[in-house]
Structure 1
Amino acid sequence: MAYVTYDKAKWHWGAETAPTDIPQENGATHIAFFFRWCMERKLYSKDFAADFADDIARMDDSFDYRGFFFRDMDGVLDSDALNAAGKAFAKAYYTTGRTKFAKTHGWYLQDYDDFVAHKFGDKNFDNAYFYIENSPQNYAEVKQIIDRRYEEFLEAKKASKSADK
């Protein structure tokens, strides 16, 4: 599988419309949540595991995933960090609404926008996702969304293999 960049923090905090009244890291909370989910599911590549074994051993509920994402991954989520299962899921779910899976089930940034809208209620303002706190509570809510999509992904993959037989 070819190298893919799924998301970069600078695409968000470097945007013309990015707010200037908050830390730049806030523009990548959504990426860090997805990254954390991948780490918890052990969807990281062998090379990533070798390069960051000590960090992976410390990854728990108190670990600063967003800080690690900026410090050690330069704010870039790419295919080098993920194993084959992680790449397949990220390709189907994270990057675009145009995949077969996303058209049927949804895609990450759409789901995240829905999460943000729920958090802010009827308040609809540009770049609201910048204001989502990097908190355990918010991660837990996003984790439930990703978990559901991953189960749907696995079911779709299983159905596709059955149809191919």
Structure 2
Amino acid sequence: MHKLKSILLIIFVILIFQGNVEPSLAEEDKGEGEYMMVAYDKAEWHYEGDFPEGLYEDQGFVHTGMYLGWVIENRLYSKEFKQVSSNEITKFNQGLLSGTELYMNWDGVLASDMLSKEGNDFTKDYYESGIYFEDYADLFPGVSSVYEVNDTLDNYNIVKNKVNERFKQWKSE
């Protein structure tokens, strides 16, 4: 199932870039001239970059996976993402799958076509700006690297509470 989704996603992205597919529903909501898909984060940017020696590559997925979990919990995903990942979303909501595991199922890519318009607007202001990563690091001062934070429900709840606070603040601005 994971390989099939990966293959379908790759084909879809190729077709978009070749102009053979209409923009996603999330991208149509953006307005004229804003149809380019944006990759907000990729796990490989982390585990292939300045990544601590001795850690499993899976740790490069955790910080974004927790953010994706928050997106799902707040229903800030696109209709397209919901259609493709409905089973995983259900499992996440039942506590049977973490946001990190779901992010792994998407090959470690957090992209604009996965998010609703509001999800994209917030993600641009908070995640893409680097504020999320700063908050994430501040939440776990006891680790020598943010990549050492484990994918646990307790850690997710710490992150979720901070992102909820930032989201509430963002909505009031």
When normalised by structure 1's length, the TM-score is: 0.78
Aligned 8 A contact 1:27 1:129 in 2: no
Identity %: 29
Aligned 8 A contact 1:32 1:65 in 2: yes
When normalised by structure 2's length, the TM-score is: 0.75
CA distance in 2, matches of 1:64, 1:155: 29
Residue 113 (str. 1) matches residue 99 (str. 2):
no
- Give the RMSD, CA atoms, in angstroms: 1.4
Which residue of structure 2 aligns with residue 18 of structure 1?
51
**CA offsets 1:140-161 (integer angstroms, 9 cap, x no match):** 10111000000001001xxxxx
Query: How far apart are residue 67 of structure 1 and its match?
Result: 1.9
Aligned 8 A contact 1:89 1:153 in 2: yes
Query: How far apart are residue 58 of structure 1 and its match?
Result: 2.1
CA distance in 2, matches of 1:141, 1:64: 14
- SS at structure 1 position matched to 2:76: coil
Letter in 2 for 1:130: Y
Aligned 8 A contact 2:67 2:99 in 1: no
CA distance in 2, matches of 1:54, 1:67: 13
- SS at structure 2 position matched to 1:52: helix
Which residue of structure 2 aligns with residue 159 of structure 1?
none
Letter in 2 for 1:138: N
CA distance in 2, matches of 1:148, 1:41: 13
CA distance in 2, matches of 1:63, 1:155: 32
Residue 74 (str. 1) matches residue 74 (str. 2):
no
Query: How far apart are residue 5 of structure 1 and its match?
Result: 0.9
Write the mapping of 1:79-118 to structure 2, written as runs, cut at 5 A.
79-97=112-130, 107-117=131-141
Give the counterpart of 1:132 among 149, 157, 170.
149
Write the mapping of 1:137-156 to structure 2, written as runs, cut at 5 A.
137-156=154-173
Query: How far apart are residue 37 of structure 1 and its match?
Result: 0.1
CA distance in 2, matches of 1:113, 1:59: 24
For structure 1, which runs of at least 5 residues remain unmatched after alignment? 98-106, 157-165
CA distance in 2, matches of 1:69, 1:149: 22
CA distance in 1, matches of 2:47, 2:85: 26
CA distance in 1, matches of 2:133, 2:109: 16
Which residue of structure 2 aligns with residue 104 of structure 1?
none
Query: How far apart are residue 57 of structure 1 and its match?
Result: 2.1
Runs of 4+ in 1 over 4 A off after TM superposition: none
CA distance in 2, matches of 1:109, 1:65: 16
Query: How far apart are residue 23 of structure 1 and its match?
Result: 1.2
Aligned residues: 138
Give the counterpart of 1:65 among 80, 99, 107.
99
For structure 2, which runs of at least 5 residues remain unmatched after alignment? 1-33
